[in-house]
Amino acid sequence: MSTHTTTGVTHYHVQKRRRAAFIEEWRKNHRTVVPLEDVVMHPTERGSRVGVYVGADGDRPTRTMDALAHELDPGTTTTLHRHSWDAMVFVVAGWGWTEIDGKRIDWGPGDSLHLPAWAWHRSGNDGDTPTRYLTFSSAPLLETMGMAVLEDAGHTPVDELPPRPPFSPGRDGADPYATRLRRLARDQEARRSGRLHTSWDELELRNTPRGTRTTFLLDRAIGYQASGITMAMFEIGPGRAQSMHRHPGEAWLYVVEGSGESYLGTEPEGGERHPWKKGDIIVVDHFLWHQHINTDPERTAKVVRIHMFDSLLETMRALCDPLVLFEEPPDHIRDAQAGDPSTIQWPALTRPTWP
């Protein structure tokens, strides 16, 4: 028996309406600065409090990453859960621990952690003061592809829980299937052996031509095996600025210490300046020229930068070639904007404080 399927209108009109609705929704939900005071903390069944900076579980949905704040009271241990996406953690305040597939990692203010996909994890606070940390995850990206899965196991002992999904080892052979098995097995073996923790006490910031001093927090360059999210921190001298630049893909910036403003515009001149302070998140939109400025004449500003470089931007590099995917002014203009960071009296690197 034959059937006849139709949308009632042409393929052209269906796709045109779909794309227009997508862009309209995205623009409606876009924020340039999400102030700390807009992040309302809610108690959860996991035993923690959670607030949404950016994400579908708040009123600011996004398509690639989300950003959440978490708080644990003294004596609290969250439930165990795992998910098909991975997440990056940046600790803002307090001393606690996170258990990843049964391995406990103790952390304090300024520390960073990687929660791999499908790894059982929970966090706890054995101290006498509240803890606070942020998570940045690739959940929206997997949700877009219909691959976002979340499983909560309550307080079940870890040794009674199923392991991460199994994978077949590589096998000999020159055929495409054997080649795929070997390639994916190597990838999973690497991803499951990556680094999980960066202590603030291990950080070493280095001067850059863009007028700041920087360090990686979570990145493949220092041993992490993530889905694509990368985290770095940069420090801007008193009254100084990072040089202007632009790139595809969003960059999210969490203000660890200090205050200032960011220039954003479609051109190097004529854009808008957006003020920010400690605890805010700055969202730099796709291909906007931007420059981050420390308006405090006496203190430095520390900012953690997060983006999906290893997956989205590398894919865009292939899709958009020969377009330039990172652009900054000529060296002499860049240097004039940034100044020489070696002339700054950088303070000793101390752990962040809250609030």
* Alpha carbons 150 and 63: distance in angstroms, whole number: 18
pLDDT band at 21 (very low <50, low <70, confident <90, very high): confident
pLDDT interval class at 198 (50, 70, 90): very high
CATH class of 33-168: mainly beta
Question: Given the DSSP bridges, would you call strands 96-100 and 121-124 parallel, antiparallel or unpaired?
Answer: antiparallel
Residue 250 has pLDDT above 90, yes or no: no
What local confidence, expressed as pLDDT, does residue 235 receive?
98
Res. 5 pLDDT band, cuts 50 70 90: low
Q: Judge whether residue 279 has pLDDT over 70.
A: yes
Cα separation, 150 vs 43, in Å, equals: 19
The model carries a pTM of 0.91
From residue 264, alpha-carbon distances to 113, 219, 297, 330 in Å are 30, 26, 22, 19
203-343 has which fold? Jelly Rolls (2.60.120)
Residue 254 CB-half CA count within 13 A: 26
- Backbone φ and ψ for 4, nearest 5 degrees, come out as -130, 120
Q: What tens digit of pLDDT does each residue of 95-137 get? A: 999 999 999 999 999 999 999 999 999 999 999 999 999 999 9
pLDDT band at 7 (very low <50, low <70, confident <90, very high): low
Strand order of the β-sheet with 212-218 is 33-34, 281-284, 251-257, 301-307, 230-236, 212-218, 206-207
**5 vs 242, residue with greater confidence:** 242
Q: Which helix (H) or strand (E) holds 98?
A: strand 96-100
161 confidence band (pLDDT: 50, 70, 90): very high
Count the neighbouring beta carbons within 10 Å of the beta carbon of residue 225: 19
- DSSP annotation of 241: B
Q: Are 191 and 116 spatial neighbours (Cβ–Cβ below 8 Å)?
A: yes
Query: How crowded is residue 6: how many other Cβ atoms within 10 Å of its Cβ?
Result: 6
pLDDT at 4 > cutoff 70: no
CA distance 192 to 182: 15
- Average pLDDT of span 45-51: 97
What percentage of the chain reaches a pLDDT higher than 90? Answer: 71
Q: Where are the domains of the chain?
A: 33-168, 203-343
Q: What is the CA radius of gyration of the chain?
A: 22
Whether 33-168 shares its CATH topology with 203-343 is answered yes
What's CA 64's distance to the chain center, in Å?
10
Return the residue matching tokens 């954003």.
264
Q: Which of 66-75, 81-90, 311-320, 346-355 has the lowest mean pLDDT?
A: 311-320
- Alpha-carbon distance of 150 to 81, in angstroms, equals 7
> 216 forms bridges with which residues in the sheet?
232
pLDDT in the model for residue 16: 86
User: Average pLDDT, stretch 84-92?
Assistant: 96
Whether 273 and 259 have beta carbons less than 8 Å apart is answered as: no
Q: Average pLDDT, whole number, for the chain?
A: 91
User: Taking 70 as the threshold, does the pLDDT of residue 317 lie above it?
Assistant: no
Query: Which is more confident, 337 or 275?
Result: 275
* Residue 70: partners with Cβ closer than 8 Å, 6 or more residues away: 48, 49, 50, 123, 132, 133, 134, 135
Q: Pick the residue with more confidence: 169 or 31? A: 169
